[in-house]
C-alpha cells in the first residue's frame, strides 16, 4: 500500500458494494482498497464492467437506489478530521456539504449533467451559493473569474449562455467550474474527456494538472485510456470485475506491469510507435458478469497463466516492490510471472 | 509503391454542402460545408486510414463513398475491372453492381442488425438480394465468412441482442465478407468497444486483408490505431484532406501543422512527448463560417499571410517526396 | 421461464410468455375470451333463440328462466345480449383492423419517404381529424346507408389517423438506425426495407393501438346505434339494444333492458383495456428479460450510460 505515514485525503478500506438486480444480488465492488495522498493524482483504470464508476459513486454516496456499501470504510480527511463517508446519511446535511463543497465531481456526459433549461453561469453559481453564505453578485463575479481562468472566452457573456450553445470541450470546462468553484480538496473526474477530441482532451488535462500543481488539489481520474494515465497520474489502480488487481506509482505499474490483465491491457493498445509486425495482444472472451465469478480470481476465466489454484479462493494482494501491489498467485519470489510454454486456452 | 497504378476508387474534389435554412420563409442562410473539395485515391489491397477530429467530415465522406448520400459536387469513380467508371449517377442494376463490390460497416454495433431478425437470416437475405440464387452457395459463403471472423455456425440462429458488442462487429464484418466485396468502408467500427475487444477486431481486419487482399477505408479518430491498421493515412480538417502519407512514416514525417499538433496531442507513454506537445489554442471554427483561405489558418502556429487568402491544394511533399502529399503553403513542392 | 432455452426463443416467444405472466394482461384475456366464447354459444347458454317472440312473457325482470329478463316482445335478453356481442365484437375488431391497416400503410410510406408524400398525407390526416367526427360519420352513413359492413367502413375511414401518426413517428426515428443504413448500403429496395425490416419493429405500438381501437369502436358503434344511425334494430348489437333506453319509462321501470347491455359493453371494454395495458407493459423495452440476456450488463449500460 501507499506509505501510511503520508497525509491521505481519502482512504478506501476493503469496500464492498452490492447491487440488487431483479432477484439477484450482484457483488459489484469487491474488497476495494485505495488511498489518495493529499495533492496527488490517482487514476482508476479498467474496461467496462470493472466497477471504476461505481467506486466514484460510492465515495460520494451517489449509488443508485438498489446499490449499497455492504462493508468497508471510506475515510475522508477534512479540516484535520477524518470522516467515515460511508456512515453519513446519503442526503443528510454533512454529506451534502461535502458533496460539491469538499469533494467535487466531473462526469462524462456533459449534455445530461447540465440542466439544458438553465443558464450555465447560474448552474455554477448555484453550487457556490449552496455552500457559502455570499450574495448573488459576489457569486457571479467569482464564477466569471473562474471561467476566465479555465479558458472560457468572453466569460461575462458566456455566463448567460445555455449548455447547448457550448461545444463539448467548453461544456466540460463548465463542469470543471462546477466541480471546483467551491475549491474542494478532492476532485473526482469520471471519464471527463472520453467523448472529446484528442486536442481538446490535451487542453482539459493540462488544466487539471495545473489545478493540482498550483492549488494543491487531489484528483481521482477514472479512465480506460492507459496512455492518458501515464501522462497525468501519480498513482494508478487497475480494476477488473470489481477488484483492484494492481496498484502503485504510475511509473512502476505502467513500465513494469506485473498482473496478467494489466500486461494484456497495455499490450492491446497500439501506440504511435508500435511495431506493426507485432500483433496486438488480445484477451480471450469478454468480461463476465459478476454473478458468474464468485470464487477465486476474477480474471481466471481468461488468463493465460491460470492454474487450478487460481479458482479456489480469493487472491490477496502481494507487494512486489515499494508501493507496488499485485493480486496474483502466479508471481514468483521476484514478483514476476512465469514464462508461458503451451499456455492455457479458453473458449 | 509506385503511383502509376490505377486506383480502385478515385475521389475527385468531392463537396458536400448542407443548406442552413433560417427565417420565417426558410430561406437558405448559408451552407455547412461538411466536405469542401476532397481528393483521394484508394488502391487495391491497401488499407487507407482516414483520421480527423469531430467536424472534419470523415463520417460524411465515408457515407458518400458508400453511396448512402449524394455529393453536392465532384466525381466518384470506381474500377469495376475495365478502368475507372463514374458511379455518382448509377441507378438500378448498375448501382447494385457497385454495392456488391463496396460494403460498409458502421460504428454502433448495437443497432447495425435488425433486432427482429436472426443474424444468419440477415446474412442470407443480403446474399439473396445480391442475386445468389443457390441456397447451398449462400450457406457456404456465410459459413466461410463466419469462420474467418471466428463466430461458431450454431450462433447464426441467435438474435442480435444475444451477442456482445465485439461479437456484433464481427458479425457485421462477416455479413460484408459473404458478399465478396472488393472494398470495405469501416466507419469508426472500434470506437464503441473496450480496448481489449478493439484489439481483437483490429487483428481480425489485418488477418482478413492478408488472406483476401481486400481494400479497406478505415475511418477513425484514434491516431495510433489509424497508423497501426493502415498502409497510408489521410488526415482531414474541416472538410478537407490536409495530408496523406505512409502510415509507417508517422509520426516523424508529418508536415502539416495540424497533423503535427494532432499527433502531439495523443497521450503517450513517452515522457518526452509531453514537452514537445504543440498546444492548439481555441476550438475548431464552425463549418458555416469557414475562414477564407486555409481552413486551419485561424489556429495554425506557423500561419503566414498567404494562408489567410489562398487555399492550399494537395501537392507532393517537397521533403519526403514519394507517396506523401500535403496541402500547406509551407510545402513548396511541385505537383 | 426456462433460462436454458433462452437462446432459442424468438422475440415473439419471449413476449408471449412475458404476457402470460402479466396480471393485467391475463385478467383482460380471461374477460374477453369468456365473453367471446359465450357469444358463440349464445343460444346454447340461454336456451333460446334471440328473436324468439313470446308476448306472454314480455317485460319480465331477471329470473331463473330468463337470467337477464325479457324485452317488450318477450325475447330473452341474455340471448339477445350474447348474440349482440357477436356483432359488436365483430364490428370493433374488424373496424380496428381496417383502420390500423390504412394507418399503418400510410404511416409507413409517409414516415420512410418523407418529403412531399409525407406532407400530403399529413394534411389529409389533419383534415379528417379536425372535421367533427360525428358529422363525418353521419355524412358517410347517409351516403352508404346503414348496416354492419357500412358502419365498419365508416369507422375505418375516420379512425386511421392515430395509428398513422404513431407509425409515422416510429418510422421517422427508426430510419436513422444503423441497420436501416446497412440495408441501404446493401442495395435493399425501399419496399423491402419498409415492409420487411421497419414494419416488424413497429409492431408493438401497432398492436397496442389495435386493442385500444377495438374498445373505441365498440363504444362508437353503441353511440351510433343508440341514435338509430348505426346498425338497424333487426340485427341486435349492444348498441341498438341500448336504444330501448331512449324511453324514460324503460329507464325507470324496466332497468334490465338497458343495464345489462351497458354492463356488457363496459366489461368487454375493460377487458380490452386490461389486455392493452398488459401489452404495453410487456412491449416496453425496459421490461425485464425481453432484450438482453446479460441483464447485468444491460442494467449497467442503462444506469451509467458509457460502454467504456
Question: What does the pLDDT look like over A302-319, one tens digit per residue?
Answer: 999 989 999 998 889 888
Nearest residue, CB atoms, B268 vs list A200, A265, A271 = A271
Nearest residue, CB atoms, C187 vs list B96, B107, B114 = B96
| pLDDT > 50? residue C299 | no
Q: Do the Cβ atoms of B227 and A200 come within 8 Å?
A: no
Q: Which residues of chain C make contact with B117, given a CB cutoff of 8 A?
A: 197, 200
Q: Would an 8 Å CB–CB cutoff place B70 in contact with chain C?
A: no
Nearest CA distance, A93 vs chain B (angstrom): 39
Q: Looking at residue B333, what is its pLDDT?
A: 56
Q: Would an 8 Å CB–CB cutoff place C3 in contact with chain B?
A: no
Q: Angle of helix B195-212 relative to helix B165-177, nearest 10 degrees?
A: 10
More confident residue, B91 or A43: A43
As a dihedral over the C-alpha atoms of residue A188, residue A193, residue A199, residue A203, rounded to 10 degrees, the angle is -20
Residue B272 — pLDDT band, cuts 50, 70, 90? Answer: low
Write down the pTM of the prediction. Answer: 0.83
Task: Identify whether B202 is part of a domain.
Answer: yes
| Grid cell of C230 as nine digits | 348505426
| pLDDT > 80? residue B285 | no
Give the closest residue to C99 by CA, choosing from C119, C128, C127.
Answer: C128
Give the three-state DSSP class for A324: strand
Q: How many CB pairs under 8 A join B and C?
A: 71
Nearest residue, CB atoms, A268 vs list B196, B251, B277 = B196
Q: Do the Cβ atoms of B119 and C15 come closer than 8 Å?
A: no
Nearest CA distance, A202 vs chain B (angstrom): 6
CA distance B11 to B13: 6
| Grid cell of B218 as nine digits | 478505415
Give the closest residue to B122 by CA, choosing from B178, B39, B38.
Answer: B178
Question: What radius of gyration do chain B's Cα atoms show?
Answer: 21
| pLDDT > 90? residue A11 | yes
Q: Looking at residue A14, what is its pLDDT?
A: 93
Chain A interface residues (partner B, CB cutoff 8 A) = 47-48, 153, 167-170, 197-203, 205-206, 224-228, 230-231, 254, 264-265, 268-274, 276, 279-283, 286-287
Whole domain around residue B175: which residue ranges?
9-258
**Stretch (H or E) spanning A248:** strand A243-249
Q: Kindly report which listed range (B10-14, B260-264, B269-273) carries the lowest average pLDDT score.
A: B269-273
The model's pLDDT over B151-204, given as tens digits with 9 standing for 90+, comes to 999 999 888 888 888 999 999 999 999 999 999 999 999 988 888 889 999 999
Q: Which residues of chain A make contact with C297, given a CB cutoff of 8 A?
A: 49, 289
Task: Identify whether B317 is part of a domain.
Answer: no
Q: Residue B83 maps to which CATH number? A: 3.40.50.300
Nearest residue, CB atoms, C182 vs list B106, B116, B162 = B106
Chain A residue whose CA is closest to C296: A289
Determine phi and psi for C213, rounding to 5 degrees. Answer: -65, -30
Q: Looking at residue C307, what is its pLDDT?
A: 40
Q: Which residues of chain B make contact with A270, given a CB cutoff of 8 A?
A: 202, 224-225, 227-228
For B276, counting Cβ atoms within 10 Å of its Cβ (0-12 exposed, 13-18 middle, 19+ buried), the class is: exposed
Q: Looking at residue B4, what is its pLDDT?
A: 59
Q: Do the Cβ atoms of A200 and B267 come within 8 Å?
A: no
| pLDDT > 60? residue C285 | no
Q: Looking at residue B38, what is its pLDDT?
A: 93
Q: Looking at residue C171, what is its pLDDT?
A: 92
Nearest residue, CB atoms, B116 vs list C189, C200, C293 = C200
Chain A residue whose CA is closest to C307: A48
Q: Which residues of chain B make contact with C189, given a CB cutoff of 8 A?
A: 129
Domains of chain C: 22-48+70-304 (1.10.3720.10)
More confident residue, C157 or A347: C157
Best of B107, B196, B232 to mutate (most A CBs within 10 Å, chain A): B196
pLDDT above 90 coverage of chain C, percent: 15
**Stretch (H or E) spanning C133:** helix C133-144
Best of A205, A232, A239, A270 to mutate (most B CBs within 10 Å, chain B): A270
Q: Do the Cβ atoms of C293 and B111 come within 8 Å?
A: no
Q: Would an 8 Å CB–CB cutoff place C184 in contact with chain B?
A: yes
| pLDDT > 90? residue B219 | yes
Task: Identify whether B329 is part of a domain.
Answer: no
Residue C247 — pLDDT band, cuts 50, 70, 90? Answer: confident
Give the closest residue to C225 by CA, choosing from C213, C248, C242.
Answer: C242
What ipTM was predicted for this assembly?
A: 0.84
Q: Do the Cβ atoms of B165 and C307 come within 8 Å?
A: yes
- Range from A112-121, C42-51, C65-74 that averages highest in pLDDT: A112-121
Q: Which residues of chain C make contact with B194, given a CB cutoff of 8 A?
A: 307-308
Best of A25, A47, A49 to mutate (most C CBs within 10 Å, chain C): A49
**Stretch (H or E) spanning A83:** strand A81-84
CA distance C203 to A197: 39
| pLDDT > 90? residue B331 | no
| pLDDT > 90? residue B231 | yes
Q: What is the mean pLDDT of chain B?
A: 88
**Span C133-149, average pLDDT:** 79
Q: Would an 8 Å CB–CB cutoff place C7 in contact with chain B?
A: yes
Q: Which residues of chain A make contact with B195, given a CB cutoff of 8 A?
A: 47, 224, 226, 265, 268-269
Distance between start and end Cα atoms, chain B: 18
Q: Looking at residue C2, what is its pLDDT?
A: 39
Best of A282, A303, A346 to mutate (most B CBs within 10 Å, chain B): A282
Residue C292 — pLDDT band, cuts 50, 70, 90? Answer: very low
**Beta strands A235-240 and A41-45, pairing class:** parallel
The model's pLDDT over C50-87, given as tens digits with 9 standing for 90+, comes to 777 877 877 778 887 778 888 777 788 888 888 888 88
Chain C residue whose CA is closest to A222: C308
Cis preceding linkage at A239, omega within 30: no
CA distance A191 to A107: 7
Q: Looking at residue A103, what is its pLDDT?
A: 92
Q: Do the Cβ atoms of A53 and C299 come within 8 Å?
A: no
| Grid cell of C296 as nine digits | 447485468
CA distance B121 to B7: 35
Q: Which residues contact A273 (CB under 8 A, 6 or more apart)?
A: B251, B270
**Span B255-275, average pLDDT:** 82
CA distance B10 to C221: 65
CA distance C81 to C268: 12
Q: Looking at residue B278, what is its pLDDT?
A: 77
| pLDDT > 80? residue B321 | no
| Burial call C9-35: b when 16+ CB within 10 Å, e when fewer | bebeebbeebbeebebbebbbebbeeb
pLDDT above 90 coverage of chain B, percent: 52
Determine phi and psi for B231, rounding to 5 degrees. Answer: -85, -40
Return the half-sphere exposure (C-beta side, CA atoms, 13 A cut-off) of residue B54. Answer: 13
Q: Taking a contact as any Cβ pair under 8 Å apart, which residues of chain B between 181 and 240 contact chain C?
A: 192-194
Q: Looking at residue C5, what is its pLDDT?
A: 45
The model's pLDDT over A49-103, given as tens digits with 9 standing for 90+, comes to 899 999 999 999 888 888 999 999 999 998 788 888 888 888 888 888 888 888 9
| Grid cell of C139 as nine digits | 355524412
Chain B residue whose CA is closest to C198: B114
The cell 446535511 sits on which residue?
Answer: A93
Nearest residue, CB atoms, C306 vs list A21, A194, A290 = A194
Best of B150, B165, B199 to mutate (most A CBs within 10 Å, chain A): B199
Q: Looking at residue A16, what is its pLDDT?
A: 95
Nearest residue, CB atoms, B113 vs list C10, C179, C186 = C179
Best of A17, A22, A112, A286 to mutate (most C CBs within 10 Å, chain C): A22
**Stretch (H or E) spanning B10:** strand B9-22
Task: Identify whether B219 is part of a domain.
Answer: yes
The model's pLDDT over C209-241, given as tens digits with 9 standing for 90+, comes to 888 888 888 888 888 877 777 777 777 888 778
Q: Would an 8 Å CB–CB cutoff place B107 in contact with chain C?
A: yes
Q: Looking at residue C288, what is its pLDDT?
A: 44
The model's pLDDT over A144-160, given as tens digits with 9 standing for 90+, comes to 998 888 888 888 888 99
Task: Using CB atoms, list chains with 3+ pairs below 8 Å to chain A.
Answer: B, C
Nearest CA distance, C187 vs chain B (angstrom): 6
Residue A254 — pLDDT band, cuts 50, 70, 90? Answer: confident
Give the three-state DSSP class for A196: coil
Question: What are the helix (H) ranges across A217-328?
Answer: 226-232, 250-255, 260-268
- Range from B144-148, C201-205, C265-269 that averages highest in pLDDT: B144-148
**Number of continuous H segments (helices) and E segments (strands) in chain B:** 10, 12
Q: Would an 8 Å CB–CB cutoff place C130 in contact with chain B?
A: no
Q: Looking at residue A6, what is its pLDDT?
A: 67
Q: Do the Cβ atoms of A270 and B224 come within 8 Å?
A: yes
Nearest CA distance, B54 vs chain A (angstrom): 7
Residue A231 — pLDDT band, cuts 50, 70, 90? Answer: confident
Nearest residue, CB atoms, A231 vs list B195, B248, B267 = B267
**Span B23-40, average pLDDT:** 80
Q: Do the Cβ atoms of B226 and B233 come closer than 8 Å?
A: yes
Residue C258 — pLDDT band, cuts 50, 70, 90? Answer: confident
The cell 502556429 sits on which residue?
Answer: B301
More confident residue, A11 or C305: A11
Task: Identify whether B294 is part of a domain.
Answer: no
Total structural domains within chain B: 1
| pLDDT > 90? residue B129 | yes
Q: Do the Cβ atoms of B262 and A268 come within 8 Å?
A: no
Chain B residue whose CA is closest to A283: B196
Nearest CA distance, B180 vs chain C (angstrom): 12
Q: What is the mean pLDDT of chain C?
A: 80
Task: Identify whether B223 is part of a domain.
Answer: yes
Q: Which residues contact B212 (CB under 8 A, 6 or more apart)?
A: B177
Task: Identify whether B1 is part of a domain.
Answer: no
Q: Do the Cβ atoms of C306 and A49 come within 8 Å?
A: no
Task: Identify whether B176 is part of a domain.
Answer: yes
Amino acid at each position: 500500500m501507499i506509505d501510511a505515514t503520508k497525509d491521505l485525503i481519502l482512504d478506501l478500506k476493503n469496500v464492498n458494494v452490492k447491487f440488487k438486480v431483479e432477484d439477484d444480488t450482484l457483488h459489484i465492488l469487491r474488497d476495494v482498497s485505495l488511498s489518495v495522498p493529499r495533492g496527488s493524482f490517482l487514476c482508476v483504470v479498467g474496461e467496462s464492467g470493472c466497477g471504476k464508476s461505481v467506486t466514484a459513486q460510492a465515495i460520494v454516496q451517489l449509488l443508485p437506489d438498489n446499490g449499497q456499501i455492504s462493508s468497508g470504510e471510506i475515510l475522508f480527511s477534512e479540516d484535520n478530521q477524518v470522516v467515515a463517508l460511508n456512515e453519513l446519511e446519503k442526503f443528510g446535511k454533512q454529506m451534502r456539504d461535502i458533496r460539491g463543497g469538499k469533494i467535487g465531481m466531473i462526469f462524462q456526459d456533459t449534455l445530461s449533467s447540465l440542466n439544458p433549461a438553465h443558464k450555465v453561469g447560474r448552474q455554477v453559481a448555484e453550487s457556490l451559493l449552496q455552500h457559502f453564505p455570499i450574495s448573488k453578485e459576489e457569486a457571479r463575479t467569482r464564477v466569471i473569474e473562474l471561467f476566465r481562468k479555465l479558458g472560457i472566452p468572453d466569460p461575462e457573456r458566456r455566463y448567460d449562455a445555455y449548455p447547448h450553445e457550448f461545444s463539448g470541450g467548453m461544456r466540460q470546462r463548465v463542469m470543471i467550474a462546477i466541480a471546483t468553484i467551491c475549491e474542494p480538496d478532492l476532485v473526482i473526474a469520471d471519464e471527463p474527456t472520453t467523448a472529446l477530441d484528442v486536442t481538446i482532451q490535451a487542453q482539459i488535462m493540462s488544466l487539471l494538472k495545473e489545478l493540482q500543481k498550483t492549488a494543491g488539489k487531489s484528483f481521482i481520474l477514472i479512465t480506460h485510456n492507459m496512455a492518458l494515465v501515464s501522462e497525468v497520474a501519480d498513482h494508478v489502480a487497475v480494476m477488473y470485475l470489481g477488484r483492484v488487481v494492481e496498484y502503485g506509482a504510475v511509473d512502476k505499474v505502467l513500465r513494469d506491469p506485473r498482473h496478467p490483465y494489466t500486461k494484456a491491457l497495455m499490450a492491446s493498445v497500439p501506440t504511435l510507435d508500435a511495431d506493426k509486425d507485432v500483433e496486438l495482444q488480445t484477451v480471450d472472451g469478454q468480461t463476465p458478469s459478476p454473478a458468474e465469478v464468485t470464487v477465486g480470481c476474477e480474471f481466471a476465466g481468461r488468463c493465460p497463466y491460470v492454474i487450478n489454484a487460481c479458482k479456489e479462493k480469493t487472491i490477496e494482494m502481494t507487494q512486489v516492490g515499494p508501493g507496488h501491489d499485485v493480486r496474483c498467485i502466479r508471481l514468483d519470489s521476484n514478483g514476476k510471472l512465469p514464462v508461458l510454454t503451451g499456455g492455457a486456452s479458453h473458449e | 509503391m509506385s503511383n502509376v497504378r490505377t486506383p480502385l476508387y478515385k475521389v475527385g474534389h468531392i463537396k458536400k454542402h448542407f443548406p442552413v435554412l433560417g427565417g420565417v420563409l426558410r430561406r437558405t442562410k448559408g451552407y455547412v460545408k461538411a466536405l469542401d473539395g476532397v481528393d483521394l485515391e484508394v488502391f487495391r489491397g491497401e488499407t487507407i486510414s482516414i483520421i480527423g477530429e469531430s467536424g472534419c467530415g470523415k463520417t460524411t465522406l465515408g457515407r458518400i463513398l458508400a453511396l448512402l448520400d449524394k455529393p453536392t459536387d465532384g466525381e466518384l469513380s470506381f474500377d469495376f475491372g475495365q478502368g475507372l467508371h463514374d458511379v455518382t449517377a448509377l441507378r438500378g442494376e448498375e448501382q447494385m453492381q457497385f454495392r456488391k463490390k463496396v460494403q460498409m460497416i458502421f460504428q454502433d454495433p448495437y443497432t447495425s442488425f435488425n433486432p427482429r431478425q436472426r443474424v444468419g437470416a440477415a446474412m442470407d437475405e443480403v446474399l439473396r438480394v445480391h442475386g445468389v440464387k443457390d441456397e447451398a452457395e449462400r450457406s457456404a459463403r456465410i459459413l466461410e465468412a463466419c469462420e474467418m471472423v471466428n463466430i461458431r455456425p450454431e450462433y447464426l440462429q441467435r438474435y442480435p441482442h444475444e451477442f456482445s458488442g465485439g461479437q456484433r462487429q464481427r458479425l457485421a464484418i462477416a455479413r460484408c465478407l459473404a458478399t465478396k466485396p472488393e472494398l470495405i468502408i469501416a466507419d469508426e467500427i472500434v470506437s464503441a468497444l473496450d480496448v481489449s475487444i478493439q484489439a481483437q477486431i483490429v487483428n481480425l481486419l489485418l488477418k482478413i486483408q492478408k488472406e483476401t487482399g481486400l481494400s479497406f477505408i478505415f475511418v477513425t479518430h484514434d491516431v495510433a490505431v489509424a497508423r497501426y491498421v493502415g498502409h497510408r493515412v489521410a488526415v482531414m480538417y474541416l472538410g478537407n484532406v490536409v495530408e496523406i502519407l505512409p502510415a509507417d512514416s508517422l509520426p516523424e514525417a508529418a508536415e502539416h501543422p495540424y497533423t503535427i499538433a494532432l499527433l502531439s496531442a495523443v497521450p503517450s507513454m513517452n515522457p518526452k512527448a509531453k514537452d514537445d506537445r504543440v498546444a492548439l489554442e481555441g476550438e475548431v471554427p464552425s463549418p458555416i463560417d469557414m475562414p477564407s483561405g486555409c481552413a486551419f489558418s485561424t489556429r495554425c502556429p506557423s500561419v503566414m499571410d498567404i494562408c489567410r487568402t489562398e487555399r492550399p491544394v494537395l501537392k507532393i511533399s517537397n521533403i519526403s517526396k514519394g507517396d506523401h502529399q500535403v496541402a500547406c503553403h509551407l510545402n513548396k513542392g511541385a505537383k | 421461464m426456462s433460462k436454458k432455452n433462452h437462446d432459442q426463443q424468438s422475440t415473439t416467444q419471449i413476449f408471449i410468455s412475458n404476457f402470460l405472466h402479466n396480471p393485467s394482461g391475463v385478467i383482460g384475456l380471461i374477460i374477453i375470451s369468456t365473453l367471446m366464447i359465450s357469444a358463440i354459444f349464445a343460444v346454447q347458454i340461454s336456451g333460446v333463440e334471440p328473436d324468439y317472440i313470446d308476448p306472454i312473457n314480455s317485460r319480465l325482470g331477471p329470473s331463473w328462466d330468463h337470467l337477464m329478463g325479457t324485452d317488450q316482445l318477450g325475447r330473452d335478453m341474455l340471448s339477445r345480449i350474447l348474440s349482440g356481442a357477436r356483432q359488436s365484437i365483430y364490428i370493433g375488431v374488424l373496424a380496428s383492423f381496417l383502420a390500423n391497416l390504412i394507418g399503418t400503410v400510410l404511416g409507413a410510406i409517409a414516415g420512410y419517404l418523407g418529403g412531399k408524400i409525407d406532407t400530403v398525407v399529413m394534411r389529409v390526416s389533419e383534415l379528417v381529424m379536425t372535421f367533427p367526427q360525428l358529422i363525418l360519420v353521419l355524412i358517410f352513413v347517409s351516403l352508404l346507408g346503414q348496416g354492419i359492413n357500412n358502419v365498419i367502413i365508416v369507422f375505418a375511414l375516420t379512425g386511421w389517423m392515430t395509428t398513422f401518426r404513431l407509425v409515422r413517428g416510429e418510422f421517422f426515428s427508426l430510419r436513422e438506425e444503423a441497420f436501416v443504413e446497412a440495408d441501404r448500403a446493401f442495395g435493399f429496395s425501399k419496399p423491402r426495407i419498409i415492409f420487411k425490416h421497419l414494419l416488424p419493429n413497429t409492431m408493438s405500438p401497432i398492436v397496442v393501438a389495435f386493442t385500444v381501437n377495438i374498445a373505441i369502436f365498440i363504444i362508437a358503434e353503441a353511440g351510433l346505434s343508440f341514435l338509430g344511425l348505426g346498425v338497424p334494430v333487426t340485427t341486435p348489437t349492444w348498441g341498438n339494444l341500448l336504444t330501448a333506453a331512449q324511453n324514460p319509462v324503460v329507464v325507470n321501470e324496466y332497468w334490465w333492458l338497458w343495464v345489462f347491455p351497458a354492463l356488457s359493453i363496459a366489461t368487454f371494454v375493460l377487458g380490452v383495456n386490461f389486455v392493452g395495458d398488459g401489452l404495453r407493459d410487456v412491449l416496453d423495452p425496459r421490461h425485464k428479460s425481453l432484450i438482453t440476456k446479460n441483464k447485468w450488463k444491460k442494467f449497467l449500460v442503462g444506469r451509467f450510460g458509457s460502454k467504456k
